[in-house]
Amino acid sequence: MKKYWLTLAAVTLFGSASFAQQKDTLRLSLTEAIRYAVKNNPQLKSAQLDETTNRYKIKEIKSSAFPQITGSAGGTDNYKQASQLLPGDLMGQPGTTIPVKFGTRYVYNGTVQLSQNIYNPSIITGLKAAKESQGLYELQTFQSKEDLIYNMASLYIQIQLAEKQKELYAGNIDRTEKLLDITSLQLKEGIAKKVDVEQLKVNLTNMRTQLSNAENDYEKVIDNFKLLMNIDLNQPIVITAPGESEKIALSGQLNLAANTDLNIIDKQIRLQKLNTKNIQSGYKPTLTFSANYGRQWQTEKLFDNNATTGITSGYYSLNLSIPIFDSFKKRNQVAQSKIAMKQLELSKAYTEKNIETQYRTATNNLNQNQKVFEAQTQNMKLAEDLYNVAKLSYTEGVSDLSELINAENSLREAQSQFLTAMLQTHLAELETMKASGQLSQLIKDMSNKN
């Protein structure tokens, strides 16, 4: 199959980019630029940090399956001890009540407690869900990377367009300047009219304005390109044309399995199933083990070991919790989860159809734009030939300036149509690669090789 201009740096996406600098200008290929952007783009870095956060989330859930140990310590100064009234009969004073103080002034203690989940289905399911969610975060990171590459390729198309515009406009200016010189000489010799010179000056001014606008458009696109790369906007850069080895042929086939949006929905469906299972695990009993060890010290005088009494305590226990009736709370939660599952399945079916539609539209647009581009390329060549004939006729005095101006206007219109067709064709190539899943598959294949 024919190779197109398009270079999507998935072919050499990973590794360090080596930049050649000349007079502080950064010269790099699209491949190198995308490598740099993948490494430094802030939005992609943020998505990668989400991956890292979820890894810690998995470890957090894992920790619930291991022993939990806590310790505590405290002390109390009963500087004004409370009294309890006891019957005087206990102390040989019948018919009276006697206030009696209990305990010591100072009480301090230390306790260590251990707890361990022996059987808890929710923890097991939660761990499975956490591990499954890691795949979702990885897909979201991949999608960010895919979008980054797509956006950079799209900007590169616009850079190519702006460069071609500048080239064509500069050529128009050069031709018109030479023609103005000839017409000015003819005016001095009485062959040309003053109005002809003025008309050429007006056209030359318009052309220079066109070139200035094209240069401004070029700078704006370059700035957006730098933004994606996360480099200093004041850093001059030049994006070089891709080599033959970097060009990628369009596959011409739709690969739904490689589509990132569908892969994300599939992952969400698996997570929703685990959510349903996690709710249902609430019907099962849980078994935990706990143990406690503590020691208490009582004394009337601090720092007096002889007056201090220590008391040790401890226990361990098995605790079985059996759910009996929750007023149908979990049943309603399961129903909601199943509805969410159905919604995801409907979303997947719609997304598949939407992708097929996008691919069909992209391929139709590509075929149409390729025909238009080929026709406009031939049309521009024809307009150049007609302009050269009109110019020759004008310089030889066979025709007047108006015919040359008409030929020039036709040439500029043909150039405009050519540039539009070039832009639309390249964008259609890029959109076809994305819609078909080829872009995703290229990135995946090269990621597996590295």
Pairing of strands 83-87, 97-101: antiparallel
Q: Which of 24 and 19 is assigned the larger pLDDT? A: 24
pLDDT at 80 over 90: no
pLDDT at 142 over 70: yes
List pLDDT tens digits, range 282-325: 999 999 999 999 999 888 887 777 778 889 999 999 999 999 99
pLDDT at 19 over 50: no
pLDDT at 205 over 70: yes
List pLDDT tens digits, range 145-180: 999 999 999 999 999 999 999 999 999 999 999 989
pLDDT of residue 449: 64
pLDDT at 13 over 60: no
How would you classify residue 294: left for phi > 0, otherwise alpha for psi between -120 and 50, otherwise beta? beta
pLDDT of residue 21: 44
pLDDT of residue 120: 92
pLDDT at 15 over 70: no
pLDDT at 272 over 90: yes
pLDDT band at 243 (very low <50, low <70, confident <90, very high): low
pLDDT at 378 over 60: yes
pLDDT at 2 over 70: no
User: What percentage of the chain reaches a pLDDT higher than 70?
Assistant: 93
Q: Which of 4 and 206 is assigned the larger pLDDT? A: 206
Low-confidence winner among 4-8, 252-256, 337-341, 379-383 (lowest mean pLDDT): 4-8
pLDDT at 53 over 70: yes
Mean pLDDT, rounded, for 200-222? 94
Q: According to CATH, what is the number of the domain 9-65+120-284+327-449?
A: 1.20.1600.10
pTM, full prediction: 0.82
pLDDT of residue 85: 83
pLDDT at 8 over 70: no
List pLDDT tens digits, range 418-441: 999 999 999 999 999 999 999 998
Mean pLDDT, rounded, for 354-380? 95
What are the structural domain ranges in the chain? 9-65+120-284+327-449, 71-117+286-322
Q: By the 8 A CB rule, do 67 and 39 touch?
A: no
pLDDT of residue 125: 92
| Average pLDDT over the chain, rounded to an integer | 88
pLDDT at 14 over 80: no
Q: Which of 9, 64, 17 is nearest to 40 (CA)?
A: 17
pLDDT band at 191 (very low <50, low <70, confident <90, very high): confident
